[in-house]
Each structure stands twice: as C-alpha cells, then as structure tokens.
Amino acid sequence: MPHEPQRIAMLSVHTSPLDQPGTGDAGGMNVYIAELARALARRGAEVEIFTRATSSALPESVHLDEHDDRVLVHHVPAGPFEGLDKNDLPAQLCAVTAGVLRVGAARPAGWFDVLHSHYWLSGQVGWLAAERWDVPLVHTMHTMARVKNAALAPGDSPEPATRVIGEEQVVAAADALVASTAEEGQDLVGMYDADPERVHVVAPGVDLGVFRPRADRAALRRELGLPVDRDVVLFAGRVQPLKAPDVLVRAMGVLRASGRPVPLLVVLGGPSGRATALTELQALAATSGVADDVRFHPPVARAELARWFAAADLVAVPSRSESFGLVAVEAQAAGTPVVASAVGGLRSVVQDGVSGRQVRGHDPAVWADALATALADPASRTTWRAGARRVAEQYGWDATAEQVLKVYALAAERRARVAV
C-alpha cells in the first residue's frame, strides 16, 4: 500500500472550522473537519484547510489552534464578504477555485499528497484542484440533497436540482468517498450510483476527554442556572426545520394540555436558514402554552456544551435527516441518554434501550409520550447513562484519522492505477 499522505489539503467552502457550531451554516461538519484535522496532525500530517472568507478583517491564513502550527486555515476571498447565502455560493465557485489554486501555486510542485473536500460545494472546487495538482480527490458528503428531500419538514423548501447535479458530478469524480455510516454508504450507491469500491465507511469520533460524565450534576445545574428539582430536556443544534426543534416545542404543548408533568426544554442554538427561525420557534412556544417551559440559549463553545449535556436528564435529537448525528454521540459521551429520531446515522449511534430511545416519525404526541415515559423511569435512565458512555467509547477521533489515512492511501493507489 502507498505511504500515508503527509500533506493534506481540505476544502470547506461554505463554512469555516473556526465558526461557532449551532448557528448559521455551522454545525457537525465544522466539528468534524476541525477534529479530524487535529487528529491527522497528531499522526504527523500537515493539514491546510481552505474556506471562503466572510469578512475583510479575517487574516489570509491562521492556525486552527493558537499554539499548534500543524493545521493552517486559509481564508479565500470570493464574492462579497457578507450577505451571501449558501444557495448563492455556486456562482462563486470559480472564484474560490482560483483562490485555492493561487495558494497552491506558491508551493513547490507536488506539495500536497491528497485533497479531501467536505460537502458538495467543496467537492466542485476539489474536482478541479485535484486535477491541477494531480492528487487523489477524497470527498465526504455530510448531507445529500436526495436524502434531505425525501424527509422534508412541512413547508420546508426542497434542495435545488443544481445541488443534485453537482453532487452526482462529485461522486463520479472522486477517487474515494467517505461515508459516516453504512446507511450513508448505501445511499451513495443507491441514490447516486457511486462505485461501491470507492465508498469507505469511517465513523466520526468524539472527544472523550471533553465530553464526559460529571459527578455532581446538581452543582453543575446551579452553575448553569438550571433548576435542580425539575427534569431538563436539552436540544442542541441549529434552529431550522431539518433539525425539527419545533417537534419538541409542540410535544411540550401536548404534555401541558394533557396535564402531565412538563420538563424544562432548553434550546441551545441559533437560527439557520431563515433569520426569523428563532423568533418563530419562540412564538410557537407561546401559542402552544409553554412559553415558560422552554428556555432559549445561544450556542456555546465545546467545553461549555459538554457541561450542558452532562447537566441534562435527556438530550433530544428529533432531526428529520441526519447523516451521522454527532450531537447524539457527544451527549452520550457525557453520560446523558438520548431520545432521537430513527433516521439516518441516528439509528446506528443511539442504541434503543441501551443508551436511550429511538422514536419513529415526528408526531408531537408520539414524542411527548416517549419523553414522558423516559423521564418517569429513573431506573432505566440510570442504566442508560452507563450505556450511553459505553456506546460513545466506540468512537474516537484518533481511530477516525487512522481509518481516513488508509482511505487516502487507497485513493492514491487507485488514481495511480487508473493513470497507467
């Protein structure tokens, strides 16, 4: 097998690994890219991440971590710095590609060993850059238009045909495709006609040191301003139809209307897509009669997020589509059971009856019953807490990096074979 790549270019066009997850377009993918880059660096690789500049105040290049020079982030100017929606970015891909190639041109020939693109917009740029640099293209989809369109929330807009076509092109061009779960790999083959030999399943990881159980949850709750004597259900993520926090708010309304105990629902996240998404969710809480039962809090840094997870009785992940479900793994690493939709990667990372519960569909009444049943059974939740940590311990970023390096080597081998 060819040697492990030592210089890796990563593309994250529409969102930066430096952005705060939980608002705008920043989410699990940002965490994935940053943590994978760090884990690759720990194995001796040099990683350069290219992302579109969203402010004139950003430096051209900056280290991902202040005291570690092994991961460099390049801010590529392309189009207006501000005001561009993700759906506007296809028109800027030529500009992004030019910026990426300009940085590459300043390097000696053959500098990069592999190019790893994330999300279809990056894949379009990577397709051209990999050809110019004569390196293998490895691509991770993170989400897929056809999968999302099959599970749209009521009133949500479908992903455009432009994206579907772009994804098909990237799948065909990539030397290797990294899927987070076997189900995602099957979707690539079944929905996008991917070559099965190019699809490699590599589970993302979790920082088991940061996300860990806490001994004194009562003290932790007091520090976070949470009630000690009331059940707490936590939602962490972007406030958008795909993540379905509205299902949880409506479920709280069902509990209130039926006279059952209502936990405190904490929504830890910011608006994504529509600027009014958060105010709309707050209005829904009011009209559902649970304005005082839902607390909204802006996104927090990773170490702080781990404390919120550990403080909650349950973490709810009601997503309509989820390629992996990093929030669920991180919550379980903190020793907190997860109640999750039985969709996508969540079917793999949340073990029903072991680390939490899987819920079929998005009927608020069904979710209300699932949450109420779990909260009314402290004995099961104690068992689930131990199970949650055990499940999370199966995932680690160093193991992810080791497997991804093998994919890089296989992609290089395939490219060399085809070139002969």
The response to whether 313 counts as a known ligand-binding position is: no
Check whether residue 98 and residue 174 sit in a common domain. yes
Q: Clarify whether residues 157 and 174 are in a common domain.
A: yes
Do residues 347 and 311 both lie within one domain? yes
In this structure, are 128 and 23 located in the same domain? yes
Find out whether 21 is annotated in a ligand binding site.
yes
Please indicate if the annotation marks 27 as binding a ligand.
Answer: yes
pLDDT at 5: 63
For residues 7 and 46, the answer to whether their CB atoms sit within 8 Å is yes
Q: Are residues 179 and 58 both part of a single domain?
A: yes
Annotated binding residue 54: no
Q: Is 351 annotated as a binding residue?
A: no
Q: What per-residue string of b and e applies to 312-328 under the rule 16 or more CB within 10 Å gives b?
A: bbbbbbbbbbbbbbbbb
14 in a labelled binding site: yes
Instruction: State whether 141 and 27 are in the same domain.
Output: yes
> Is residue 405 one of the residues assigned to a domain?
yes
Domain identity same for 74 and 157: yes
* Residue 323: predicted pLDDT: 85
In a domain, 211, yes or no: no
Q: What is the CATH number of the domain that holds 292?
A: 3.40.50.2000
Domain that holds residue 309: 217-392
The reported pLDDT for the residue numbered 4 is 60
Q: Is 67 annotated as a binding residue?
A: no
For the residues 317-331, what does the mean pLDDT come to? 93
| Average confidence score pLDDT of the chain | 93
- pLDDT value at residue 22: 65
Is position 210 within any domain? no
Please check whether residue 102 is in contact with residue 81, taking contact to mean a CB–CB distance below 8 angstroms: no
Higher pLDDT, 92 or 20: 92
Check residue 280 and give its pLDDT. Answer: 93
When divided into structural domains, the chain yields a total of 2
> Do 195 and 335 have their domain in common?
no
Q: Any binding-site annotation on 330?
A: yes
Q: Which of 9-23, 243-257, 375-389 has the lowest mean pLDDT?
A: 9-23
Q: What is the pLDDT of residue 1?
A: 42
Q: Are residues 52 and 190 in the same domain?
A: yes
**Does 201 lie in the same domain as 102?**
yes
Residue 32 labelled as part of a binding site:
no
Domain presence at residue 384:
yes
Q: Which three-class secondary structure string do you get for 315-358?
A: EEECCCCCCCCHHHHHHHHCCCCEEEECCCCHHHHCCECCCEEE
Q: Is 300 annotated as a binding residue?
A: yes
Average pLDDT over residues 15-22: 81
Strand partners, 114: 8
149 is in an annotated binding site: no
User: Quick check: helix, strand or coil at residue 264?
Assistant: strand
322 labeled part of a ligand binding site: yes
In percent, the amount of the chain with pLDDT more than 90 equals: 80
In a domain, 1, yes or no: no
- Is 209 labelled a binding residue? no
pLDDT at 349 over 80: yes
- The answer to whether 279 is annotated as binding is no
- Is 148 assigned a ligand-binding role in the annotation? no
- Say whether both 233 and 259 belong to one domain: yes
Q: Does the annotation place 289 within a ligand binding site?
A: no
Query: What is the Rg, in whole angstroms, of the alpha carbon atoms belonging to the chain?
Result: 21
pLDDT at 223: 96
User: Do 24 and 98 share a domain, yes or no?
Assistant: yes
Instruction: Answer yes or no: is pLDDT of 195 > 70.
Output: yes
Q: pLDDT tens-digit profile of 277-322?
A: 899 999 999 999 999 999 999 999 999 999 999 999 999 999 998 9
Res. 166: pLDDT tops 50: yes
